Amino acid sequence: MSLTRDLVRLIRTKEVTESDLTQSALFVLDTLACALGALNTEPARILAAVAPPRTADTARRAFYLGGLSHILEMDDLHRDSVTHPGCVVIPAAWAIADARDLGGRAFLKAILAGYEACCRVGMAVGKAHYRIWHNTSTCGPFGSAMAAAELLGLGEDHAVWALGNAGTQSAGLWEFLASGAMSKHLHTARAAESGVLAAQLAAEGFTGAEHILEGEKGFFAGLCSDPAPEALTHDPSRPWEVGRTSIKPWPCCRHTHPAIDAALELHAKLGNTTLSKITVGAYRAALDVCDRLHPDDPYSARFSLQHCVAIALTEGRVDQQSFDAGARVRVAGERAKVSLHVDGGIEAAYPNAWGAIVTVETADGQVMSAIRSAAKGDAENPVDATELASKAHDLLVGGGMAEADAAQFILTVKSLTEDRPVRELDLFKLDRASHPA
């Protein structure tokens, strides 16, 4: 028996309720809105040039949508695994469901399975993996392959092969952050595509390593110095991992969100008070990824705890314009006052809880703090269906969609639970204005 076989069996014996399908549809809405909201960006233009979405094959369509979904930094996040499952699993599932003209319910069930595989592998890689490897990129192929296996109707052996084929394609290094390169979008694009290819090959009898995770020369041995294999199948009867996945309210790295949430609370209390010192306590991974005192481009600013806290404290909001050149100049003085440190209690709770404490000292000597153990969008502090629809609407319209079309698109996604054909989403038609054939 292998870990991948155990995982396939765990997933295929979990109960799927109507509530689970409804929740799955909300995550589809979030991911597709993130993707279509990014259509007018330069990375989107490049992705479309390399993988034209209306003429590419199924795997390359997953590649295109997977890359597109991650551009705006608004896609979902599973804390325990430190993965963004939606931008990998949903593009893969959509590409196959669209190509095979499948109904919404099968599509939504496959997404539940894909999230489960991605998140459980992510929880098993250990903390050290994330210091070098981008978990979404390395663990994502397992999720996209599992979703694809469900939609292709693979039997157990073939599904295990699909996961083996997926795991051998795992990659994705954090080095892109040093220069603000676009590679992060490639990570999600390839993770989505790799899973589709892995499952398609398995469907044809192309075998994959059954012990790809725990084998002597497998995934854990090569990429993980402190793996936790038991996490892969721990508590199999608990709710689907999609229900433990967070939705982002702000367009920047999720590691910045607990501090943003705390800083917004302080902004409401401070008014125009002059600050002399700003301190942020967080967990080590947040500092490893987001310690950037002098971000010199919008992407770096999205990965700067100093900038995100400064803009939240100063302006009381964080949106797409909060990272442009003007915003970076406006808060340069406040950003310089921000110091970061690892807080022992917050570090001990990570990754089960992503927390932060923000403390400010005013010019007249007052000290105020705000702490978060669950940021807005976490399961303990959720974005509700109305708030999510509003986020999706703003993203869709921001990407160039007409107001009426955005409203109809949201309704179409929600009605997937009624087994509406996935093809009715017609993503290729919706992106035509931004990327003409």
Same domain? 89 vs 185: yes
Q: Of 230, 195, 197, 201, nearest to 213 (Cα)?
A: 230
The pLDDT tens digits of the residues spanning 28-49 come to 999 999 999 999 999 999 999 9
The answer to whether residue 203 is domain-embedded is yes
Question: Could you tell me the CATH number of the domain that includes residue 218?
Answer: 1.10.4100.10
The answer to whether residue 52 is domain-embedded is yes
Same domain? 98 vs 138: yes
The answer to whether residue 437 is domain-embedded is no
Measured from the Cβ of residue 390, the count of other Cβ atoms closer than 10 Å reads 13
**End-of-domain residue from the set 372, 406, 421:** 372
Cα separation, 143 vs 193, in Å, equals: 11
**End-of-domain residue from the set 349, 372, 395:** 372
Cα separation, 72 vs 167, in Å, equals: 27
The pLDDT tens digits of the residues spanning 259-299 come to 999 999 999 999 888 999 999 999 999 999 999 999 999 98
Same domain? 80 vs 111: yes
Same domain? 223 vs 316: no
Residue 25 has pLDDT above 90, yes or no: yes
Same domain? 268 vs 404: no
Is residue 304 exposed (0-12), middle (13-18) or buried (19+ Cβ within 10 Å)? buried
pTM for the model: 0.92
The pLDDT tens digits of the residues spanning 290-337 come to 999 999 999 899 999 999 999 999 999 999 899 999 999 999 999 999
Same domain? 367 vs 409: no
DSSP string, 194-248: HHHHHHHHHHTT----TTTTTSTTSHHHHH-SS--GGGGSSSTTSPPGGGGEE--
The answer to whether residue 378 is domain-embedded is no
Q: Of 102, 85, 98, nearest to 195 (Cα)?
A: 85
Same domain? 149 vs 214: yes
Same domain? 297 vs 396: no
Measured from the Cβ of residue 432, the count of other Cβ atoms closer than 10 Å reads 14
- Compute CA distances 131 → 143, 285, 287, 288, whole Å: 21, 7, 11, 7
Residue 436 has pLDDT above 80, yes or no: no
Same domain? 197 vs 238: yes
Q: What SS3 class is residue 371?
A: strand
The answer to whether residue 114 is domain-embedded is yes
Cα separation, 240 vs 35, in Å, equals: 24
Residue with tokens 């404490």: 357
Q: What is the DSSP letter of 15?
A: -
| β-pair type (245-246, 275-282) | unpaired
Count how many domains the chain has.
2
Tokens standing for residue 116: 């489960």
**End-of-domain residue from the set 339, 372, 405:** 372
Same domain? 356 vs 391: no
Same domain? 280 vs 396: no
The answer to whether residue 419 is domain-embedded is yes
Question: Could you tell me the CATH number of the domain that includes residue 262?
Answer: 3.30.1330.120
The pLDDT tens digits of the residues spanning 344-374 come to 999 999 998 999 999 999 999 999 999 999 9
Buried b (16+ CB within 10 A) or exposed e, 317-355: ebebebbeeebbebbeebbebbebeebeebbeebbebbb
Same domain? 398 vs 356: no
Residue 132: φ, ψ to 5°: -115, -40
Domain of 225 in residue numbering reads as 3-249+384-430
The answer to whether residue 300 is domain-embedded is yes
The pLDDT tens digits of the residues spanning 155-213 come to 999 999 999 999 999 999 999 988 889 999 999 999 999 999 999 999 999 999 999 99
The answer to whether residue 436 is domain-embedded is no
Band of the pLDDT at 431, cuts 50, 70, 90?
Answer: low
